Structure 1
């Protein structure tokens, strides 16, 4: 199905960005450790970079984790059920989750826009960076998650109807 293919390409791209963000995270942490313990001069920025980048990694990676079936699940009951019954259960779960993830996406958009327009800063260190890039990653992460939930919902409906196997 073309819609699922497009959504999953977006999800893969967000997951790739999350994976690439591990490089600046490691770089910031190595720099901080070296500065603190070898040069005896800790950085002003490494702590804030590390929690912001780690947050972006998590938020941009959650949709890809859903796509490849890596979220925590309890399979004790579902392993004994038929594919169609599992499709019905997944459909119900995604129907419950999609409105919630969509609402959170909208709220995170407002959160990002407020931080962007006000120039909100962290206030956690002397560096005091603006927060909107971090909030943008939260919004984008949940937007991609909502899209992936939609794709999973479509796949589970098709499975429940016996038209297609569920990929996960």
Structure 2
């Protein structure tokens, strides 16, 4: 389970980075409000910084949210099922999710590389920043989510195997 521990260490760190990004987001928004309403001079950059940083917070937090079990779950169903049944359902869900994540990581790597290579800009404000850092954050976020799904899959299989070893068969 060393690989699971390594993945979860990286995932935990990305969650901390995502949480820490709340401070620059708050600072940018407070400065924008101050600049707009007190100084009468709105910034050119606050809108773009706020949606890019908020996106980074979300993307860097996805995998950590899965690690700590805080993604949406239908407790009504899982509470009435056995641990073994819940584990099998998790395994099926993760196996179905992996191809989607592989596709997303592949496409986002193309987006990020293409934006970097072309110097693509956002086009959403007068500031018009380069967009590849945002695309790269999306790529990192979904890559970490993919790794965390693999870690969750390993843990689920491990639970199923240990359940089998205790009972003799997973089909009891």
The TM-score, its normalising length taken from structure 2, stands at 0.92
Mapped pair 1:146 → 2:146? yes
Distance 2:49 2:163 in 1: 47
Structure 1 unaligned blocks of 5 or more: none
User: Contact 1:78–1:86 at 8 Å: present in 2 too?
Assistant: yes
**Misfit runs of 4+, over 4 Å:** none
User: Contact 1:60–1:141 at 8 Å: present in 2 too?
Assistant: yes
Which residue is equivalent to 1:86? 86
Distance 2:55 2:64 in 1: 15
User: Contact 1:83–1:159 at 8 Å: present in 2 too?
Assistant: no
Matches within 5 A, 1:1-40: 1-40=1-40
1:78-129: CA deviation from partner (whole Å, max 9, x where unpaired): 2122211111110000000011111101111110000000000011111110
Distance 1:158 1:83 in 2: 13
Matches within 5 A, 1:1-168: 1-163=1-163
Determine helix, strand or coil for the equivalent of 1:42: coil
Structure 2 unaligned blocks of 5 or more: 165-172
Rg larger for:
2
Distance 1:75 1:67 in 2: 17
Distance 1:27 1:77 in 2: 42
Distance 2:7 2:145 in 1: 10
Following superposition, the deviation at residue 163 of structure 1 comes to 4.9
